[in-house]
Structure 1
Amino acid sequence: MTALKLVEENAALRKVAAPRRNSVFTSIDLDRDGKQIGFFAMPQSPHDDAWGSVQIPLAVVKNGIGPTILIEAGNHGDEYEGPIALGELLREIDPADVSGRIIAIPAINVRAVEAGTRTSPVDGLNFNRCFPGDFNGTLTQQIAAYVNDCLFPIADYFLDLHSGGSSLMILPAAIIEPSPTPEGHKRNIAATLAFGAPTVVMVDNLGETRTSTAAANLQGLIVIGSEMAGGGLVSQDALAICRRGIRNVLKHAGILKGAPETAQESNGRVLQVPGAEGYVMADDDGVFEPLSELGSTVTKGEIAGRIHFLRTPSREPVVLRHPIDGVVFAKRQPGRVRPGNCCFVLAVEYPEALAKGDRDDA
């Protein structure tokens, strides 16, 4: 199926609502051919700027007729591989090599990106738990509303670039966002496999509907996610995977020419986070000592780690155990924990029959 045919079929299935009334403005023309790098802005009126605005970097690279992809990075401000790789792409890409349109937002949660924090210092909100957003809400809610109402409806693909941030180390992976429709699910899997990460993991965030990928799914876009290392650092290995993955998805969509360039280790294993049973949570306030390595295979009942109580040396540490057999997909980065903190995330093999069928359909 050609990229244009896929876009036409997808558009026929989508129901797009009119955008809600808003006061967002932008410095660029989303429909003009060529490369434009500017911003969209949210009017804000803080103490030191009565009629000011917050400018969020926005870029468009367009050439003729073809699919539109929206690429987002900086969803959380302490996740760095995506913004770096997307910025490189925007500096390097020649519009003449594009068939269709790339809309890129490399630092979407801009105040969090500036602060290097997961949540926005302006309102304390997690951008990835704010969809569909609110144009009459706080800054983070307004940004989410603009993406939801004004950008998702004109896009065919959505690529959401994440890392583990300051609190997690994660296996570099492409992420399948489960679609509400069987056809959408197959398309999401095909596009995610095209990213070409060493590991592919299906994650539904325990059914969370307020994420950007879940919101894009509800509007019928073809959705691809990524998780690239973490720990508040920049991983050269993960950055290389991210650079290649972005271009691979553009090729898969038909926006760039050629076939995706997948390394030998690409899609080496396809996993899924099975649900609440895949999470190891702290129930105590203390210091966590992890005893399982990232990427290792663990068994149900195996010791995952211990929580130590430094002010009460007479107290024995609390032992945490893995709740299921699986692969360590994510591991907590800071040693300090309190009740409810996520210490490990486990993934299991994606059902073989489904994986084979999805690969064949891809």
Structure 2
Amino acid sequence: MTTLGTASAEPGEIDTGRLEVGETRDGSSFGLPVAVINGAEPGKTLYMQAASDGDELNGVGVISRVVPRLDPAELSGTILIVGIVNYHAFQVAEHRNPIDDTKMNRAYPGNENGTSSERIAAATFDVGTRADLILDLHQGSTSRMIDEVRVRCGKRHRLYEDCLELAKAFDCGYVLDQKGPDGQLARAAPDEGVPTVDPELGGCVGWDEESIRKGVDGVFNVLTHYGFLDGTLELTRQTRANSFEQYGAPGGGLVRLTKDLGDRVSRDEVLFELTTPFGEPKDSVTADTDGILWRTRRLPQVASGEYVCSVGTDVDSY
């Protein structure tokens, strides 16, 4: 029997339930939606979670499509899932937990007696560190971004190669290999011996079906590569960026990007132009170095200094 919150499953079974993590402002208890898929045969344990940031919904879309396709009778090992982590932010479609104004993915490993976010982080971290592998499903918030996987433990970490392998197995085609900020699950869990990556599935308002499809494919790639499902997976080379350069607007106006997401850019090549509301040219911004257009703002209007785009730099493949 494998149990997560109120969900319990014998080998060959699947169950859903709730993981209670606190109370709302009226004193009512609340819980995170959870699932246990217990394979008929023994094997590894995979932990997946989504909506650590409340407006990043593509991961929820992935889980809602993956679970109905899983047959425990054909599975070796166990999959533990928390379908929505940032409960309060999800309810109001906001990025940060509105109870304590905290970005959940800066609160790990959490504190069971701490703030709202720290308590949720502690509860989900406890589940995640029961596993052999972790997929923490994200997206680039509501910006436009390529589909990629982030390795956040840092190149000197003892599990660095294991995290790289997990990113490669997920196979979005692009990897950001850059040590993440303190408090990220993908930073904290490897310290406990669990290889962890952040698939960043595009960026949109609501969800994007193409990014969700890539996420679903990625989950099944991982399940195949690590022996949860029968079959073999041929690992393919990924395009890897090791750092970012961000570009802001030199003045106010309307932005016209000259490149599409995923396009290669060269040093001194124009990234975007700035015009007045009447289309009159005001300025242009060029790349400081070679790279890949990785992320852009969604709306065309900008004020002076406002974020416009990011270029992935120090690019190679592995």
**Among candidates 178, 184, 188, match of residue 203 of structure 1:** 178
How far apart are residue 142 of structure 1 and its match?
1.3
Q: CA separation in 2, counterparts of 1:342 and 1:249?
A: 34
Cα distance 1:198–1:104, how it changes in 2: closer, same or farther (>3 A)? same
Q: CA separation in 1, counterparts of 2:70 and 2:122?
A: 29
How far apart are residue 128 of structure 1 and its match?
1.3
Cα distance 1:107–1:195, how it changes in 2: closer, same or farther (>3 A)? same
How far apart are residue 38 of structure 1 and its match?
0.7
| SS of match in other structure, 2:243 | coil
Which structure has the highest strand share of the two? 2
| SS of match in other structure, 1:213 | helix
Cα distance 1:243–1:299, how it changes in 2: closer, same or farther (>3 A)? same
1:176 lines up with 2:141 in the alignment: no
Query: Which residue number corresponds to residue 297 of structure 2?
Result: 332
Query: Which residue number corresponds to residue 311 of structure 2?
Result: 346
Could you tell me which amino acid in structure 2 is paired with residue 270 of structure 1?
T
| SS of match in other structure, 1:124 | coil
The aligned runs of 1:158-173 (5 Å cut-off) are: 158-166=134-142, 168-173=143-148
1:142 lines up with 2:123 in the alignment: no
Query: Which residue number corresponds to residue 241 of structure 2?
Result: 272
1:89 lines up with 2:66 in the alignment: yes
Return the TM-score normalized by structure 2.
0.86
Query: Which residue number corresponds to residue 265 of structure 2?
Result: 298
Could you tell me which amino acid in structure 2 is paired with residue 40 of structure 1?
L
Query: Which residue number corresponds to residue 5 of structure 1?
Result: none
**Among candidates 199, 202, 206, match of residue 226 of structure 1:** 199
Query: Which residue number corresponds to residue 7 of structure 2?
Result: 28
Could you tell me which amino acid in structure 2 is paired with residue 161 of structure 1?
L
CA offsets 1:86-113 (integer angstroms, 9 cap, x no match): 1222223121122111011121112322
Give the unaligned 5+ runs of structure 1: 1-24, 356-362
Q: CA separation in 2, counterparts of 1:43 and 1:234?
A: 28
1:323 lines up with 2:288 in the alignment: yes
Q: CA separation in 1, counterparts of 2:100 and 2:304?
A: 24
Q: CA separation in 2, counterparts of 1:197 and 1:250?
A: 15
Q: CA separation in 1, counterparts of 2:10 and 2:154?
A: 31
| SS of match in other structure, 1:215 | helix
Q: CA separation in 2, counterparts of 1:281 and 1:273?
A: 20
| SS of match in other structure, 2:123 | helix
Q: Is the contact made by 1:244 and 1:261 (CA closer than 8 Å) also made in structure 2?
A: no
Could you tell me which amino acid in structure 2 is paired with residue 146 of structure 1?
A
Q: CA separation in 2, counterparts of 1:273 and 1:196?
A: 17
1:244 lines up with 2:217 in the alignment: yes
Could you tell me which amino acid in structure 1 is paired with residue 32 of structure 2?
I
CA offsets 1:214-251 (integer angstroms, 9 cap, x no match): 11122221123212221214333222211111011112
Q: Is the contact made by 2:59 and 2:138 (CA closer than 8 Å) also made in structure 1?
A: yes
Query: Which residue number corresponds to residue 109 of structure 1?
Result: 86
| SS of match in other structure, 2:100 | coil
Give the unaligned 5+ runs of structure 2: none
Q: Is the contact made by 2:201 and 2:212 (CA closer than 8 Å) also made in structure 1?
A: yes
Q: Is the contact made by 1:228 and 1:239 (CA closer than 8 Å) also made in structure 2?
A: yes
1:56 lines up with 2:32 in the alignment: yes
| SS of match in other structure, 2:121 | helix
Q: CA separation in 2, counterparts of 1:41 and 1:246?
A: 26
Cα distance 1:57–1:45, how it changes in 2: closer, same or farther (>3 A)? closer
Q: Is the contact made by 1:179 and 1:217 (CA closer than 8 Å) also made in structure 2?
A: no
Return the TM-score normalized by structure 1.
0.76
* Same amino acid, percent of matched pairs: 22
Q: CA separation in 2, counterparts of 1:45 and 1:302?
A: 52
